[in-house]
Amino acid sequence: MKNYILLFSLIGLFISCADTKPCDVPTNGFIDGSDQTIMMGSQETVEVFKKIDAAWASRDYETLKAHIGNGTFYHDDGTVSNNGDSFVAKIESSYQSSLEKEEEWGWTTNFAFSVKPSASDDPKQTNTNGEWVNARFTGADGAVYEEWYQIDDNKLIWWSSAKRETGFPPPPPVE
C-alpha cells in the first residue's frame, strides 16, 4: 500500500511540474473593418522600444535616429514628423523649450507591452508590419502620456503620442 501511495505521489508531482501553456486563447479582441484579432507580441520588440526610450531620455540622437525609419509620427501637440531627422528636430525643440521655460524635463516609463494583429487576407492592411508597443509615461510635470509604437525590423515606422494633464479631482469616497 505504501508503494502505491508513493507511486501516485510521484506521478502527481510530475504532473504538477509539467509545462503548461501561458494561455489557452492565443488571440482576442477585434480590429474594426477587418477579420483580425490581437495577439501578444514579442519581448524582442519591447527591447527595441527600450533602446528608443533610453536614447531619447539621454538625448543620444544618433542612436535614436538609427531606430527610426521613414513613416508617420504624431506628436501630442499635433506636429507630424516623417523621418528620424524631423523627429529628432521636434523633440530637441521641445527639450529646448522646456529649458527656456525652466520646466522639469524627463519622464518615468510606467509600462510597455507588445501586441500584434493576426494575419489578414486583405492586402490593404498595413498594420501587420512588425509589432505594436503600447507604453505609458508620467512626465516630470505630472502629465501622463499614452503612446503607440509600430516597430518593424528594429525601426519605428509609426508612432502616436497623446498627453493627458493631471490635476483631476480625486474620486468621491466610497460609503
- Model pLDDT for residues 143-157, shown as the tens digit of each residue: 999 999 999 999 999
| Residue 2 CB neighbour total at 10 angstroms | 6
User: DSSP label at 145?
Assistant: E
> In the chain, how many domains are there?
1
What's the rounded Cα separation, in Å, for the pair 11 and 21? 20
Q: Is residue 159 part of a domain?
A: yes
Q: Is residue 15 part of a domain?
A: no
Q: Which amino acid is at 135?
A: A
Are 46 and 112 spatial neighbours (Cβ–Cβ below 8 Å)?
Answer: yes
Are 49 and 112 spatial neighbours (Cβ–Cβ below 8 Å)?
Answer: yes
Rounded mean pLDDT for each run of 10 residues along the chain, 175 residues in total: 46 47 68 87 97 98 97 96 97 95 94 92 82 95 94 97 79 71
Collapsing DSSP to helix, strand or coil, 47 comes out as helix
What's the rounded Cα separation, in Å, for the pair 27 and 66? 32
Q: Which domain holds residue 68?
A: 27-119+128-164
Are 145 and 163 spatial neighbours (Cβ–Cβ below 8 Å)?
Answer: yes
Predicted confidence at residue 175, as pLDDT, reads: 72
Predicted confidence at residue 125, as pLDDT, reads: 80
Q: Domain holding 60: CATH number?
A: 3.10.450.50
